[in-house]
Amino acid sequence: MGVKQNILVIPSVLPADFSQLGNAVVELEKAGVDRIQWDVMDGVFVPNLTFGPDTIASARKVTTLGFEAHLMIVDPDQYIEKYVAAGCELLIIHAESTRHLHRTLGRVRQAGAKVGVALNPATPICAIENVVDLLDLILIMTVNPGFGGQAYISTMESKISSAYELANSFSHEIEIEVDGGISSSTVEGAVSAGARTLVAGSSLFKHPDGLEAAVTEIRNLAGQAKRKA
Amino acid sequence: MGVKQNILVIPSVLPADFSQLGNAVVELEKAGVDRIQWDVMDGVFVPNLTFGPDTIASARKVTTLGFEAHLMIVDPDQYIEKYVAAGCELLIIHAESTRHLHRTLGRVRQAGAKVGVALNPATPICAIENVVDLLDLILIMTVNPGFGGQAYISTMESKISSAYELANSFSHEIEIEVDGGISSSTVEGAVSAGARTLVAGSSLFKHPDGLEAAVTEIRNLAGQAKRKA
Amino acid sequence: MGVKQNILVIPSVLPADFSQLGNAVVELEKAGVDRIQWDVMDGVFVPNLTFGPDTIASARKVTTLGFEAHLMIVDPDQYIEKYVAAGCELLIIHAESTRHLHRTLGRVRQAGAKVGVALNPATPICAIENVVDLLDLILIMTVNPGFGGQAYISTMESKISSAYELANSFSHEIEIEVDGGISSSTVEGAVSAGARTLVAGSSLFKHPDGLEAAVTEIRNLAGQAKRKA
Amino acid sequence: MGVKQNILVIPSVLPADFSQLGNAVVELEKAGVDRIQWDVMDGVFVPNLTFGPDTIASARKVTTLGFEAHLMIVDPDQYIEKYVAAGCELLIIHAESTRHLHRTLGRVRQAGAKVGVALNPATPICAIENVVDLLDLILIMTVNPGFGGQAYISTMESKISSAYELANSFSHEIEIEVDGGISSSTVEGAVSAGARTLVAGSSLFKHPDGLEAAVTEIRNLAGQAKRKA
Amino acid sequence: MGVKQNILVIPSVLPADFSQLGNAVVELEKAGVDRIQWDVMDGVFVPNLTFGPDTIASARKVTTLGFEAHLMIVDPDQYIEKYVAAGCELLIIHAESTRHLHRTLGRVRQAGAKVGVALNPATPICAIENVVDLLDLILIMTVNPGFGGQAYISTMESKISSAYELANSFSHEIEIEVDGGISSSTVEGAVSAGARTLVAGSSLFKHPDGLEAAVTEIRNLAGQAKRKA
Amino acid sequence: MGVKQNILVIPSVLPADFSQLGNAVVELEKAGVDRIQWDVMDGVFVPNLTFGPDTIASARKVTTLGFEAHLMIVDPDQYIEKYVAAGCELLIIHAESTRHLHRTLGRVRQAGAKVGVALNPATPICAIENVVDLLDLILIMTVNPGFGGQAYISTMESKISSAYELANSFSHEIEIEVDGGISSSTVEGAVSAGARTLVAGSSLFKHPDGLEAAVTEIRNLAGQAKRKA
């Protein structure tokens, strides 16, 4: 099957009001998003600290949407089971965060979750060439992780293309996800290069016509770009 | 002046519903607490990750209560200004988290906040004997930090007493705070030993008669213990 | 009860022939030792790597002697259960090896073993003043750990005395152990200062009259020194 | 010359009885193995601690077989000379264990040993593309290192092939070694992909017909696979 | 434009008399060098400690030559602004020194300096394939960094060629620099492979005919090699 | 003998012109200083990088003054021999920089140098209570190390007194040194508390009447304070 072809629009909760995350999640569900991404940052792997398993678990009870945890943390192995227990159906491990990436990804599967891997902007695609058989998702970061609201790095599109080709040579289904600076002006480039799962933050939460319009806009632009590609 | 003698009751937000932290803070204010403690954990200094500056900042707008950040993180220096900007009037640095404790505490003051220092259960009181002149607060941990709901370690009371004596020999006002397992059954021991600022979590949030009753109960028991002492 | 007053003679296996550890253990049992110490070194906490749980477990089946593991390793928490499962009835944690010494010692107890703590030569006795209630044994290192055959540091005797006094003020039984350079010429100083459990390596294995004579000699000299003290 | 074409069968001693390693080594020599691999683990680079230079040195005197040390340790530079002094004729350095891999490998040669490099399952082959001229051996891990008895990761065969091609473009002789899950059912895949030096553990020690039969079986199956390739 | 084609000869100051660095810099300027490289080593990233921003700043006032800082340090992000403030117009970041290379390089630009990246001998060229658009210079190390006076590693020439091709596919100007063992006997190989900016240390300072002759010699040999290529 | 009673005035070279260190050293010798302190900083133990062994060695040939190296570096053990070879007769190790302080200090002696230990402002005096027999010098930091020109922390005087008492109970000669903010206005406090060896930087180099006058002034004020004490 190779690359999963459905367009998925997934919010990052970074721009939400953290004092009312439950409300934010409910609003996102109403707006028609496909899943929710939790940007887990530890202040060590990235220069910001956001939230951990208990925050995610607290939001688990207000929605039926799937949750993915984007683990921007050092030494992720020890926390895998906690994020699955918090209600995440998909865990995304940074290739730069573990000396034994193959084992870490295997442990995610063993814990009962789907398996994703993320690459920082500078990390070459070859970092994952030996683990694709373990993957449900490849996340190509289009900003340096740590903060919302950063500008899309368009030179990542060649890496998106490489990820697409690499994933498409496998017989199981793999999502190609992008995260960072995704908005109406960048979605075409990302999708043309091969992205199908689009994480958006500021462009959703700050859209003048509201969340639902924003989600629809991203989805439509992505659909058009995919048909052209 | 030495040790500040007012009894202060301060909730840890760890047991709150993290999907509605704003509501929790409003409820705590109504219940009559004196300040709010934010348990900042990074998953490296302690084996749990909770929340960082953006979560605290989001709650800043719903209350006029003072905020203290209990920084259970490695390398705190780089984040001091962010926690002050998030609205914390007091920052608590773990003595075990920095090679240059005197400098780190000085930076907290320079950033415009009050200065606290925390000691893990095993850490001897001599770890702070050279920095007391910089302090507004000494936090004696009565559990090993990382999680709410743990049992009070009563052997810490001799350390509380030592902190009391140490602080009382200085001419500026210093709070003696305890955190961990504080409830109606442990408050007497802690206050008798010298604690005056009491952080409570589970015992407040799980009290059968509600938050306000719980706060009042802790406050009254503490007042009685102080008078006896 | 305070300090346990029985003299115990305990071999370090460092000088043994590692290709026949089973034989060495059998010989030690015949020689009348009271327990066996396993010097676990990871090459990071100390500049030498020796052996881990599987080596200890392999020797478990050839003797009924008790085993103690002296863990000279970084991040001991993650390995506690393995050393207990390997057959150690007592685990000794270095105070310098963990940020949360009180928690680590508690985990040893929880795992079903007796609890010891070790202090490097430079580490002051106050490092353990808040954890004595958790302890079955205090190990005062009389050499810098890492290698067998080093010379006894006699200035540690004042620390041995401090440990003795500290332990003796508690109502449960605590062993005072020394390790490093213990031989017929140093045992008197150590025991006079308060040591009762004596770890010996080279002086046992290289004794001209054999292991049993060596053990008896240490035991007798220690007994005399204790009676004098 | 490129890839060394002789089939070599090499035991890992992990499944041996560590209380009688000398006997195990003698048995392995009788069984006709070509060299002995020592799995050196420090509990930091991998989640297990096995043995260090003194254990290897103790076995050195009971056999004339060559020894290789597979160094699964952090900061290997400081220990290179000790493993050579312990009697290892070949040292295998993990590419993930040093920031200056080219220098570390050069130091192995300078210390008087042959030079190998190992790659964790996730590590891409390009990690060694600039150091092949320094190598006598490339070890492609077919399990995540840390424990014996794990299952062979067959997707590593494409990396074995890449290593074969890379090595074969050089004019000096280089061994292609595999380690992890090698048994009668996996040897064909590994050899077909290009492996010639086969490390086996459980499949040797637990063979129903004994060590010698097991070694012969692996050797024969490997020979057949090589001829087909 | 791709690779910048001018030959530049740049001294490393490592062999200079550090008690009279000002004089050394003046001499180098007279000798006709094109820029000065400062080998900043911290004793952690490399096994030597040399000098930091204050040393560079002290030399800034005695010459109008451009300065480049070759940062052989861990965690370079926190020091970028200091090296720019010290008067460096170009900062060279090691690809192995930061988890977020793309961000670090962006910060150099933001601080107002030109952007270089360095690769240790073992580091593959793919480590920088996603950051070339940010670069003014690629430094291929031809020794393992840490000391002057080491021998040129000629196998790096294939990496120099790869860097040349990679850089030449971009439309902005990028220098290809080499550092380590550059002398009259190695410059041809390096330039033929694609190097245009040549860092030399011992071969300049120890040249029998003096600095100026040495610079001229390197420059001429490089010019010839470039024309042949 | 206990505390060495001679007043020694020792310059820190931090304020010197690093482009002409040789001249600075010659000037300092003319000004009558008793020894020269080299502030070795690695950018990791302290937030500044200064210079290492080669800089010190380059200045060794222009003076006959004794050199002391104040090692503000992580992992000092590996560099001890280099600083001795560079011409330092005294090495000062930070108590906070090594897990095995007793061993590190012993290695300094073994390398042929005198042995000093330094304490950061927050570090309690008990950190060295078990190593005094190894010491020729105790350095009480009166600023947080990293930069010249900082203000004297007068609360360190009680630690200076404790160091004096501790040292004076030993029978060999030990210097009590202070470093940080020492000037005509602070020398009395430091000497009254027990300091005898005074490190000064800015107050020497920026004195309106020149270096020699500055040295004489410090020496005289110290002499008066000592006589009063």
Q: What DSSP string describes B104-158? A: HHHHHHHTT-EEEEEE-TTS-GGGGTTTGGG-SEEEEESS-TT-SSPPP-GGGHH
Q: What is the pLDDT of residues F41-86, one digit of tens each?
A: 999 999 999 999 999 999 999 999 999 999 999 999 999 999 999 9
Tokens found for residue C209: 């009259």
Q: Is residue B180 marked as binding?
A: yes
Q: Best residue in C13, C50, C54, C82 to probe D by mutation, most D CBs within 10 Å?
A: C54
Q: Is E122 on the interface with A (CB under 8 A)?
A: no
Kindly report the nearest CA distance between residue F214 and chain B, in angstroms. 28
Which residues make Cβ contacts (< 8 Å) with residue B185, sequence separation at least 6?
none
Tokens of E159: 């990496």
B216 by Cβ neighbours in 10 Å (0-12 / 13-18 / 19+) ranks as middle
pLDDT of residue E45: 98
pLDDT of residue A187: 98
| DSSP 8-state code for residue A150 | P
Structural element, H or E, at residue E103: helix E101-110
Active site residue D136: no
Share of chain F above pLDDT 90, in %: 98
Helix (H, G, I), strand (E, B) or coil at A57: helix
Per-residue confidence (pLDDT) for residue B229, from 0 to 100: 80
pLDDT digits over C106-152, tens only? Answer: 999 999 999 999 999 999 999 999 999 999 999 999 999 999 999 99
Residue F1, pLDDT above cutoff 90: no
Asked if E19's CB is within 8 angstroms of F59's CB, the reply is yes
Bridge-based pairing state of the strands B67-72 and B90-94: parallel
Q: How far apart are CA B154 and CA C104, in angstroms?
A: 18
pLDDT higher than 90, residue B218: yes
Tokens 């990542």 belong to: A156
Per-residue pLDDT of chain E (229 residues; tens, 9 = 90+): 899 999 999 999 999 999 999 999 999 999 999 999 999 999 999 999 999 999 999 999 999 999 999 999 999 999 999 999 999 999 999 999 999 999 999 999 999 999 999 999 999 999 999 999 999 999 999 999 999 999 999 999 999 999 999 999 999 999 999 999 999 999 999 999 999 999 999 999 999 999 999 999 999 999 999 999 8
CA A176 to chain centroid, in Å, comes to 9
In this prediction, residue D1 has a pLDDT band, given cuts at 50, 70 and 90, of confident
Q: Where are the alpha helices (DSSP H) in F40-154?
A: 53-60, 80-85, 101-110
Q: Mean pLDDT, to the nearest integer, of D76-101?
A: 98
Euclidean distance between the first and the last CA atom of chain B, given in angstroms as a whole number: 18
Burial of F17 by CB count in 10 Å (0-12 exposed, 13-18 middle, 19+ buried)? middle
| B118 backbone φψ class: left, alpha, beta (φ>0; ψ -120 to 50) | beta
**Would the CB atoms of A155 and E106 count as touching at under 8 Å?**
no
d(CA C190, CA C154): 8
The residues that bridge with A70 in the sheet, in sequence order, are: A39, A92
Length of chain C: 229
**Reported CATH class of domain A2-228:** alpha beta
User: C21-30 vs C53-60: helix axis angle to the nearest 10?
Assistant: 50
CA C16 to chain CA centroid, nearest Å: 16
Give the nearest chain A residue to E125 (CA atoms). A124
The kind and range of the H/E element at F90 are strand F90-94
Check contact D-A (3+ Cβ pairs < 8 Å).
Answer: yes
pLDDT in tens, C177-214: 999 999 999 999 999 999 999 999 999 999 999 999 99
Q: Which two tokens stand for residue D118?
A: 């190992």
pLDDT at C168 over 90: yes
Residue F38 DSSP one-character state: E
CB contact under 8 A, E100 and A122: yes
> Where are the domains positioned within chain A?
2-228
Q: What is the pLDDT of residue A229?
A: 80
Residues 6+ apart with CB under 8 A from C183: C152, C200, C202, C203, C218
Calculate mean pLDDT across residues A105-133.
98
Interface test with C, best of F78, F93, F96, F99 (most C CBs within 10 A): F99
Euclidean distance between CA atoms E149 and F61, whole angstroms? 22
Q: Which chains touch B (3 or more CB pairs under 8 A)?
A: A, C, F
List all residues of chain B from 131 to 150 with a beta carbon under 8 Å from chain F: 131, 133
For residue D103, list chain E residues with Cβ-Cβ distance below 8 A. Answer: 121, 144, 146
Closest by CA to D122, choosing from A171, A99, A124, is A99
DSSP letter string over B28-82? HHHTT-S-EEEEEEBSSSSS-B-B-HHHHHHHHTT--S-EEEEEE-SSGGGGHHH
Alpha helices per DSSP H over F62-201: 80-85, 101-110, 157-168, 187-193
pLDDT, one tens digit per residue, over B74-127 is: 999 999 999 999 999 999 999 999 999 999 999 999 999 999 999 999 999 999
According to the annotation, is B169 in a ligand binding site? Answer: no
CA distance to partner chain F, nearest, from residue E147 (Å): 11
Owner of token pair 């030079």? D115
Q: What tokens does B209 get?
A: 């008669």
User: Per-residue b/e over A100-118, b at no fewer than 16 CB within 10 Å?
Assistant: bbbbbbbbbeebebbbbbb
Strands F137-141 and F114-119: parallel
- Rounded average pLDDT over A201-210: 95
CA gap D180, D143 in Å, rounded? 5
Average pLDDT taken over every residue of chain A: 97
Backbone angles phi, psi at D71, to 5 degrees: -85, 95
* CA atoms in the 13 A half-sphere facing the CB of A118: 29
Residue whose C-alpha is closest to residue C46's, from C99, C109, C94: C94
Alpha helices in chain C (DSSP H): 21-30, 53-60, 80-85, 101-110, 157-168, 187-193, 202-205, 211-228
D203-212's contacts with Cβ under 8 Å and 24+ in sequence apart are D204/D11, D204/D15, D204/D31, D205/D11, D205/D15, D205/D16, D206/D15, D210/D31, D211/D27, D211/D28, D211/D30, D211/D31, D212/D30, D212/D31, D212/D32
Q: How many CA atoms lie within 13 A of D124 on its CB side?
A: 18
Question: What residues does F119 pair with on adjacent strands?
Answer: F140
Touch between B and C (at least 3 CB pairs under 8 Å) = yes
CB C17 within 8 A of CB D48: no
Type of residue numbered E161: S
Mean pLDDT of F90-97: 98
pLDDT surpasses 90 at D191: yes
Q: Does E73 touch chain F (CB under 8 A)?
A: yes
DSSP state of E152: P
Residues of E with catalytic annotation? 39, 179
Q: Tell me: the pLDDT tens digits for B18-69? A: 999 999 999 999 999 999 999 999 999 999 999 999 999 999 999 999 999 9
For residue C229, what pLDDT is reported?
Answer: 80
Chain-chain contact of B131 with F124 (C-beta, under 8 angstroms): no
Question: What backbone torsions phi and psi does residue F103 show, to the nearest 5 degrees?
Answer: -65, -45
* Residue D185 scores a pLDDT above 90: yes
C-alpha E153/C-alpha C80 separation (Å) is 46
Q: Round to whole Å and give the CA distance between F119 and B170.
A: 23
Q: Which of E96, E92, E112 is nearest to E39 (CA)?
A: E92
Listed residue (C49, A125, F78, F54) closest to E12, CA to CA: F54
- Beta carbons of E145 and E46 less than 8 angstroms apart: yes
Question: Which residues make beta-bridge pairs with D176?
Answer: D138
* B154 contacts on C by Cβ (under 8 Å): none
CB A60 within 8 A of CB A87: yes
Give the list of residues 6+ apart from residue F95 with CB closer than 8 angstroms, or none. C122, F101, F117, F118, F119, F120, F123, F127, F128
- Give B76-81 contacts, CB < 8 A, sequence gap 24+: B76/B104, B77/B103, B77/B104, B77/B107, B78/A47, B79/A43, B79/A49, B79/B52, B79/B53, B80/B104, B80/B107, B80/B108, B80/B111, B80/B113, B81/B111
F37 pLDDT band, cuts 50/70/90, is very high
Please write the tens of the pLDDT for every residue from D108-140: 999 999 999 999 999 999 999 999 999 999 999
Q: Three-state DSSP class for D105?
A: helix
**Interchain contact, B126 vs F121, CB within 8 Å:** no
Centre a 10 Å sphere on the Cβ of residue E26 and count the other Cβ atoms it contains: 16
pLDDT at F152: 98
| DSSP string of E111-139, one letter each residue | TT-EEEEEE-TTS-GGGGTTTGGG-SEEE
Q: Which chains touch E (3 or more CB pairs under 8 A)?
A: A, D, F
Q: Please, are residues B128 and F169 in contact by the beta-carbon 8 Å criterion? A: no
